[in-house]
Chain A
Amino acid sequence: MDELVWNVDPNADAPPSKQLVLRVLDALASDRLAAGAQLPSVRQLAARALVNPNTAARAYRDLEQLGVVRGANGLGVFATEAGPRLARDLRRRSTLDAFRGAASEALRAGHAPSELVTELSKLASNAKRPRKSA
């Protein structure tokens, strides 16, 4: 848990609490945070991310609502059993949306569908590279 990076960039366009939500989802989806693993308390999270505790609490409320953590108000915050799967689903959903958006734009710009299929095949054959951790 301690190797997880909680940095928040206050200059980024995404709100700090949403940045924290994405960090946790990413850690769960990439197996750096396992089902049942304990997360920092609200205050610990605030200190590590250098954000207001209310911002940290808001991030945990959203994550609880998403079903990936539980116990945000109790003695500890834990990843739920379904957490890693849900996080992967959520990530797949958003990446698929982004892919559809990019593909539509490419089609509108005049690329032939076959061109895009070729590009996709190339990407798929390169995708065996090890995942870079954030």
Chain B
Amino acid sequence: MNSIVTLQGLVKRFGGRSVLDGIDLELPAGTTTVLLGANGAGKSTLLRLLLGLERADEGSIRVAGLDPFHAASEVRRRVGYVPDQPDVYDWMSPKELYGFLAPQYPRWSRELEARLITRLEIPHTTRFSALSRGEAAKAMLVAAIAPQPDLYLFDEAFSGLDPLVRDEVLAAFLEEAVLDSRAALVVTHELDVAARIADRVAVLNEGRIAVCASMEELGGGADSGALPRKLKELLGDVLLEGSAVA
């Protein structure tokens, strides 16, 4: 299958400690992979490597065929990223942000931008500093979808939101983020969200991918019910194993 992201033997050390200790992971086109893992498991480091913000110590990393560290700006144009906290100039309004970003993304769709602003009722002329957490999360979602990227990267983008707002944001992602030839990597600790949107689940533990499986494999059949429970069991096992080894 055509993979948007390929990680092979990826190692990242900070001060002699391996935060990522040999990661192998593929993100096939057309799929959403949910990345689960305890705090400190290395999720944020993995995202920073994918965005070209850090350099790998060993192994290889390809995003749409490119090395993110050496082709950082080219990779950034192909990634739609939603950080856990908006990393924008807070004196900008969403409208100003989109005007600032659009020229940097060759496939940015003004039509998609306008449709999402309407759909999510984003006060797009209000400065970020005056937006609620939910409004800012919606505004950031637009900034990740309108570029029509090869890779959607969401770092806890659905967390800490009012449940109604969370469902609105999820629905907009599910309907408007076209995955046909693209992939999504969603970091979350909300198992309910994971069970709804994942095609595949990867569990990061102590710098390694402890589990990477499709929902079919996890459920032991066609898409199976009771997935949040199963994910919790799975995650529990992994964390127990990890602490037993440590």
B41 within 8 A of A: no
A117 within 8 A of B: no
Asked if A15 contacts B174 (CB within 8 A), the reply is: no
- Whole-angstrom distance between the alpha carbons of A130 and B136 in the complex? 46
Asked if B174 contacts A51 (CB within 8 A), the reply is: yes
Asked if B197 contacts A52 (CB within 8 A), the reply is: yes
Using CB atoms, name the residue of chain B closest to A40.
Answer: B175
Using CB atoms, name the residue of chain A closest to B119.
Answer: A47
Interface size of B by CB at 8 A reads 28
Interface size of A by CB at 8 A reads 23
Please name all residues of chain A whose beta carbon is closer than 8 Å to the beta carbon of B229 when the two chains form the complex: 11
B179 within 8 A of A: yes
- Whole-angstrom distance between the alpha carbons of A43 and B170 in the complex? 12
Please name all residues of chain A whose beta carbon is closer than 8 Å to the beta carbon of B178 when the two chains form the complex: 43
B199 within 8 A of A: yes
Using CB atoms, name the residue of chain A closest to B170.
Answer: A50
Asked if A54 contacts B225 (CB within 8 A), the reply is: no
Asked if B174 contacts A46 (CB within 8 A), the reply is: yes
A13 within 8 A of B: yes
Please name all residues of chain A whose beta carbon is closer than 8 Å to the beta carbon of B196 when the two chains form the complex: 8, 10, 16, 50-52
- Whole-angstrom distance between the alpha carbons of A15 and B223 in the complex? 6
30 inter-chain pairs at a CB distance below 8 angstroms, sorted by A residue, are A10-B192, A10-B195, A10-B226, A10-B227, A10-B228, A11-B225, A12-B225, A15-B223, A15-B225, A16-B196, A16-B225, A17-B223, A18-B225, A43-B174, A43-B176, A46-B174, A46-B175, A47-B171, A47-B172, A48-B171, A50-B170, A50-B196, A51-B196, A51-B197, A52-B174, A52-B196, A52-B199, A53-B179, A55-B223, A58-B222
